[in-house]
Amino acid sequence: MKDLSKITEIEDLRVIAERKVPRMFYDYVDSGSWTQTTYRNNETDFDRIKLRQRVLVDMDNRSLQSSMIGEQVSMPIAIAPTGFTGMMWANGEMHAAKAAKDFGIPFSLSTMSINSIEDVAEYTNHPFWFQLYVMRDKEFMVNLINRAKQANCSALVLTADLQVLGQRHKDIKNGLSAPPKPTLTNILNLLTKPEWCFNMLGAKRRTFGNIVGHAKGVADMSSLSAWTAEQFDPSLSWDDVADIKELWGGKLIIKGIMEPEDAILAARSGADALIVSNHGGRQLDGAPSSIACLSDIVQAVKAENSDIEVWLDSGIRSGQDVLKAISLGAKGPMIGRAFLYGLGAYGEDGVRRALEILYKECDVTMAFCGHTNINEVDENILVKGTYENLKAALPYTPAIRWG
């Protein structure tokens, strides 16, 4: 295991990942759609929320232990499902899942992962969550859900905000596709990434393991691009959630909720948790940040008297961000880029270091705010007005309809 003690913040890992990972894959992770306004606001809006420091409070015996959908966690953080993870580091999903297991937090595997469900299950021997993109090929969808069951996945994460693909300009300019285009620029860039290339030679997979060889007509990478272009189902609606929940038969999480109205529908659908998320700023550019929408959604769910858990992703870059989200009612945040930077920098060791950084920052900040139990943190740790001012800056006030 590498000594990464001098890596002191997530930004350190980002800088190293940018240097090590091929440009097209790094940009896939570290970019948003269109003008990237929402992508940037996801981070900067956290900075606008200020914390109250308390002193002469007994700060001994602190604990970040909590639970997410009934699963005990060492800290209230889960690794979010991210596509192309195995292109940040060889066998990336397997390494990230192992690091999450060792740290005691949940790992989510994307439908668009490089390593397959079976690869990850074999490598970790520990239950993980599986994220589902709904495709037009219903037979493939049923088989995918059944494969997740057979792999002992403990929850299904249904992504609701990718019925159509956001326009991601960096991906277009880099020629990122399935398979990636071997342009001269990309080839020259690969020559500057010897460690990445060497590691990738020994990778278990270098294609989408959940799809290739499982979907009709997709026997190899050459046929994958056409298949994915036509398969995302734009007709997905709330009517489909009940069918998916029945077919799955286990814990269901709905990802991509940004409005109180949709939070109410998620609660009424029987889902166990919802994730306040704008897909990391990669879908609707111009949407508010996830943190700006959080409290209205928490209030809407409470008004429904629902026990659905509210989580959040998009913009988490520090343990302070984690604490702020929890203070505003999130049961726990999910991290995407924060763990991907660690993965791209140092593989499994890098993911582990990212988690250590977040844990330490959250623990110390909680102490400064006068708390010793993460489950007792509430909005009283925030400087009054700083979150309200953030919400006031939104271009509109979300309407809550209870009917």
- Element housing 311 (H / E): strand 309-312
Which pairing describes strands 273-276 and 155-159: parallel, antiparallel, or unpaired? unpaired
Contact 343/89 with Cβ under 8 angstroms? Answer: yes
Concatenating the DSSP letter of every residue in 49-75 gives S-B----S----S-B--EEETTEEESS
Pair of tokens at residue 142: 């049923």
**Active-site residue, 279 included:** yes
Q: In this structure, what DSSP letter does residue 232 have?
A: B
Phi, psi of 174 (to 5 degrees): -85, -5
Longest dimension (CA), the chain: 66
Cα–Cα separations (whole angstroms), residue 271 to 76, 155, 156, 248, 261: 19, 11, 10, 12, 15
Contact 291/388 with Cβ under 8 angstroms? Answer: no
> Residue 31 in 3-state DSSP?
coil
- Element housing 197 (H / E): helix 194-201
Q: Compute, in degrees rounded to 10, the torsion defined by CA atoms 354, 357, 361, 367.
A: 120
Residue of 126, 169, 279, 371 marked catalytic: 279
Tokens 């759609």 belong to 33
b/e 117-128 (16+ beta carbons within 10 angstroms → b): bebbbebbebeb
Pair of tokens at residue 133: 């993109």
Of 398, 393, 397, 371, nearest in space to 382 by CA: 371
By annotation, the residues acting in catalysis are 279
